[in-house]
């Protein structure tokens, strides 16, 4: 290794796992476009982990690791399985290779449990799609439904290999930067005022998680978090003696808070900051522009991430439809989904409005965003939509100039 090369520890380690003959070695060779591992029709061809340092575009410096089949048996076989499992401890991103003809079996499910326990992001690659295209599509759907990240590939024909590389890059990149809620918008010694209404929708005796997380993030930036209800904001700002670097409010009282916060103080909402934190803000801002293009008879899907949500009360079912109707002045039809029943086909809708998704894992939320993106359907979230309807979206994203430009000039 040359002095300028990335040392092994600084490289993203990508491990290929699965049962014997699933095509781990073949897929690894196809992905890297090199003959790194030996391939054969005999089960148990790979007997020891194989490591290869290389540049893999669009990812950069990586170590690719091939492993023996996880379903090997007998004395020697069990030794190989143990070696394969040990590789998990250095894996940053895993590819679970399954044979499209058989789908997942017990050992594959066990690997998924291990990935989850060790918090290793993974992709399920349904290989040999050339032999069984319909089955491959079925297993991909099945894995998607389980909240997994799956793709049909063929090491033989090259189908899906480019897309798999892109997904690995996304997966591995997601591991790197520590995402911030508000800390990157403020400096040490700053004041940040948080406005949190305590009404009957608020849980008893505590703040909700997004509020707690925001406070933690502000403290980590060595700044001070001052928490008030909406009625105490004006007086607090007057008596603070120093201008806060930022005011963050609950979306439901945005209008009042906006009126009470002098124009030269940046103001945003928890939902805007969390949409950004979850990588959704840009799409949500572009999506909300579709509200102004809806015509009579247009359909709006309102999606709630869970079924029992005291936090969200009647926002989705009652308030949002009313606000949207009043704002657009159009005869619109509303459809609702909650919990896991997010529809696969979004084509009937002119706009999807999703809740903050606090009960959904990041992967599920990303899947939903991806569905809308792939089908060209605008998607936004409650917070962005409410801010837009109230005419305060521009103010609440003014600290993100690029987004402001997208809102003013949507493609």
Ligand X SMILES: Nc1nc2c(ncn2[C@@H]2O[C@H](COP(=O)(O)OP(=O)(O)OP(=O)(O)O)[C@@H](O)[C@H]2O)c(=O)[nH]1
What pairs with residue 64 in β-bridges?
14, 52
Using CB distances below 5 to 8 A depending on partner kind, what does residue 306 bind out of ligand X, Mg ion, ligand SF4, none? ligand SF4
Strand partners, 15: 65, 94
Rounded CA gap, 92 and 28, in Å?
16
In the set 18, 121, 356, 378, which binds ligand SF4 (CB under 6 A)? 356
Residue pair 115/146 in contact (Cβ under 8 Å)? The answer is no
131 binds ligand X (CB under 6 A): yes
* 154 contacts ligand X (rule: CB under 6 A): yes
Q: Which of 79, 170, 201, 359 binds ligand SF4 (CB under 6 A)?
A: 359
358 binding ligand SF4? (CB under 6 A): yes
Helix (H) or strand (E) holding 247: strand 246-249
Query: Which residues 6+ apart lie within 8 Å of 123 measured at CB?
Result: 93, 94, 95, 96, 149, 150, 151, 164, 167, 168, 171
CA distance 300 to 365: 18
Encoded tokens for 55: 């540049």
In the set 11, 12, 17, 20, which binds ligand X (CB under 6 A)?
Answer: 20
Q: Interaction with ligand X in 58-117: which residues (CB under 6 A)? A: 68-69
Which residues lie below 8 Å from residue 32, measured CB to CB, with a gap of 6+?
A: 52, 54, 56, 64
Residue selected from 305, 350, 378, 383 as contacting ligand SF4 according to rule CB under 6 A:
305
Return the residue matching tokens 């300028």: 4
Q: Which does 309 bind (CB under 5 to 8 A by kind): Mg ion, ligand SF4, ligand X, none?
A: ligand SF4
- Of 17-25, 96-104, 357-365, 371-379, the segment contacting ligand SF4 by CB under 6 A is 357-365
Residues between 223 and 262 with contacts to Mg ion, criterion CB under 5 A: none
Which residues in this chain contact ligand X in the complex, by CB under 6 A? 18, 20-26, 39-41, 43-46, 68-69, 127-128, 130-131, 154-156
Point out which residues bind Mg ion (CB under 5 A): 24-25, 45-46
Binding residues for ligand SF4, rule: CB under 6 A, are 304-306, 309, 311-312, 355-360
């Amino acid at each position: 290794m040359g002095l300028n090369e990335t040392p092994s520890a600084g490289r993203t380690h990508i491990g290929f796992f699965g049962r014997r003959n699933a095509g781990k070695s073949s897929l690894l060779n196809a992905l890297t476009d090199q003959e790194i591992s030996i391939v054969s029709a005999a089960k148990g061809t790979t007997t020891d982990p194989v490591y290869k340092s290389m540049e893999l575009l669009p990812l950069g410096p990586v170590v690719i690791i091939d492993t023996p089949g996880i379903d090997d048996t007998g004395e020697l076989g069990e030794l190989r399985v143990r070696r394969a499992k040990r590789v998990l401890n250095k894996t940053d991103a895993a590819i679970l290779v399954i044979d499209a003809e058989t789908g997942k079996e017990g050992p594959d499910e066990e690997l998924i449990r291990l990935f989850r326990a060790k918090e290793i992001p993974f992709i399920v690659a349904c290989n040999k799609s050339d032999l069984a295209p319909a089955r491959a599509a079925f297993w991909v759907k099945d894995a998607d439904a389980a909240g997994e990240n799956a793709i049909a590939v063929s090491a033989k024909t090259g189908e899906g290999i480019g897309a798999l590389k892109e997904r690995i890059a996304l997966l591995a990149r997601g591991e790197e930067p520590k995402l911030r809620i508000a800390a990157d918008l403020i400096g040490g010694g700053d004041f940040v005022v948080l406005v949190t209404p305590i009404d009957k929708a608020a849980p008893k005796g505590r703040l909700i998680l997004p509020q707690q997380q925001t406070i933690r993030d502000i403290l980590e930036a060595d700044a001070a978090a001052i928490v008030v209800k909406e009625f105490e904001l004006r007086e607090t700002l007057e008596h603070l003696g120093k201008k806060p670097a930022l005011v963050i409010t609950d979306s439901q009282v945005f209008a009042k808070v906006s009126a009470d916060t002098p124009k030269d103080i940046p103001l945003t909402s928890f939902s805007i900051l969390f949409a950004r934190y979850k990588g959704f803000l840009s799409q949500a801002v572009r999506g909300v522009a579709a509200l102004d293009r809806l015509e009579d008879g247009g359909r709006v899907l309102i999606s709630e991430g869970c079924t029992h949500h005291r936090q969200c009360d009647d926002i989705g079912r009652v308030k949002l439809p009313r606000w949207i109707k009043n704002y657009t002045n159009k005869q619109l039809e509303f459809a609702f989904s909650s919990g896991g029943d997010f529809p696969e086909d979004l084509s009937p809708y002119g706009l999807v409005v999703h809740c903050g998704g606090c009960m959904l894992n990041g992967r599920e939320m990303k899947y939903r965003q991806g569905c809308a993106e792939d089908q060209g359907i605008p998607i936004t979230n409650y917070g962005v939509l409410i801010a837009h309807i109230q005419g305060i979206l521009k103010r609440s994203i003014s600290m993100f100039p690029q987004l402001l430009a997208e809102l003013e000039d949507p493609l």
